[in-house]
Amino acid sequence: LGLSGPPGAGKSTFIECFGKMLTERKHKVAVLAVDPSSSTSGGSLLGDKTRMTELSRDMNAYIRPSPTSGTLGGVTRTTNEAILLCEGGGYDVVLVETVGVGQSEFAVADMVDMFILLLPPAGGDELQGIKRGIIEVADLVAINKADGDLVVPARRIQAEYISAMKLLRKRSRVWRPQV
């Protein structure tokens, strides 16, 4: 599964929760978390693993943060090979968390069985769903943080994305993207 979304959408938190649910059901889960690299120093914080404290201690989980090192598309130059290595190593679920900073970070969509776009309910310009790019390749749009005061905005953005996705050309005869 590939996951992308804007900063603050809760990608790492979602992966930790989902990953723990999968390991409790006896799955072996690999997480390939891609972090942006500095264009000045080339360095990267690789902080996604620190947000997944429970999952990182789980014996049925493997978390590998990697820097983009200047690669565009939200993944690293070797993400596809890393997915294959994880599968070969016995991991039956591989989650790839992209850099996820905008509408062009969806190279992972061609590497995975399902591409999930994770969005916060109050992300600003609700017309983002109509724009071409990342929304065209999403198999699933998940509105995250949809509780408390954000229930109403979450329902509104859900309705807007459902409407926007009706305008897009179908990519598959057997699957219609869900919101």
Indicate the number of domains in the chain: 1
Calpha distance 167→162 (Å, rounded):
9
Domain presence at residue 75: yes
Tell me the pTM: 0.84
For residue 155, give both structure tokens.
């329902």
Q: In this structure, is residue 173 part of a structural domain? A: no
Domain that holds residue 37: 2-167
CATH at 29: 3.40.50.300
- The string of DSSP codes covering 26-53 is T--EEEEEEE---TTT------GGGG-H
Confidence of residue 44 (pLDDT cuts 50, 70, 90): very low
- Which tens digits make up the pLDDT trace of 89-111? 999 999 998 876 554 556 778 88
Q: Quick check: is 163 in a domain?
A: yes
Tell whether 6 is covered by a domain: yes
Who contacts 172 (Cβ-Cβ below 8 Å, separation ≥6)?
A: none
Specify if 177 maps to a domain. no
pLDDT average, residue stretch 11-32: 96
Query: Would 176 be classed as within a structural domain?
Result: no
